[in-house]
């Protein structure tokens, strides 16, 4: 059975036609980590009651994450980006000071 979403005036459209994608916790965590980096937010941002309430409202399937979890996720993002930068610098034809 297909899930449907109600639109205004009682019009019903299948979710897949609206472009709704299934929720993925790992994607949520990566996006949260990148947001914290981009806006220079504290790790405790993920534990703010208002942020948790908003995310639960937007998607009841979201699992709360702790500041320690987001810290580990951000360190993983850092390591990946560091590897990319190192590879990029190694591929340059000129010399780069160390």
Mean pLDDT of 55-70: 94
Among 68, 70, 67, which residue's Cα sits nearest to residue 25?
70
Q: Which two tokens stand for residue 12?
A: 């019903």
Dist. CA 19–CA 6, nearest whole Å: 14
pTM higher than the cut 0.95? no
Is there a contact between 5 and 18 (Cβ–Cβ < 8 Å)? yes
pLDDT of residue 44: 97
Q: Please enumerate in sequence order all residues whose Cβ is within 8 A of that of 42, keeping only pairs 6 or more positions apart, or say none.
A: 36, 67
**All structural domains of the chain with their residue ranges:** 22-90
The pair phi, psi for residue 14, each rounded to 5°, is -60, 145
pLDDT, tens digit, for every residue of 14-41? Answer: 666 667 778 899 999 999 999 999 999 9
pLDDT, tens digit, for every residue of 41-55? Answer: 999 999 999 999 999
């Amino acid at each position: 059975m297909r899930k449907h979403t109600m639109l205004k005036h009682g019009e019903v459209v299948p979710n897949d036609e609206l472009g709704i994608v299934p929720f993925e916790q790992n994607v949520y965590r990566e996006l949260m980590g990148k947001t914290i980096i981009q806006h220079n937010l504290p790790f405790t941002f993920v534990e703010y009651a208002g942020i948790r309430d908003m995310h639960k409202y937007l998607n009841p399937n979201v699992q709360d994450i702790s500041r320690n979890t987001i810290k580990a996720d951000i360190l993983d993002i850092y390591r990946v980006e560091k590897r990319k930068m190192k590879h990029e610098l190694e591929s340059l034809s000129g010399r780069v000071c160390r």
